[in-house]
Structure 1
Amino acid sequence: MRSVIQKDEAAVSPVIATILMVAITVVLAAVLYVMVSGLITP
């Protein structure tokens, strides 16, 4: 049973890392868009 649990945790970890990387990228893109649009408007 323990080996199965460890394999499941090892399989979930890369998925969580990928989701976090995508979320960080989207947030950075949104921040840059707001900054650039704010600089262009005035």
Structure 2
Amino acid sequence: MTKKIQIMETVLRDGQQSLIATRMPTSDMLPIIKTLDEAGYYA
């Protein structure tokens, strides 16, 4: 049986939830969202 590997990218979530650094605003995330989606990340 072949198992599918799924990679979960959490950099945008982690940037938003950062307590140490300044939080990453949504406006900084928008330009890269399509590229991450096209890369095939699971979530």
Common topology (TM > 0.5): no
Taking structure 1 as the reference length, the TM-score comes to 0.31
* Greater helix proportion: 1
Taking structure 2 as the reference length, the TM-score comes to 0.31
- Which structure is larger by alpha-carbon Rg, 1 or 2? 1
Higher relative contact order, structure no. (Cα contacts within 8 Å, ≥ 6 residues apart): 2
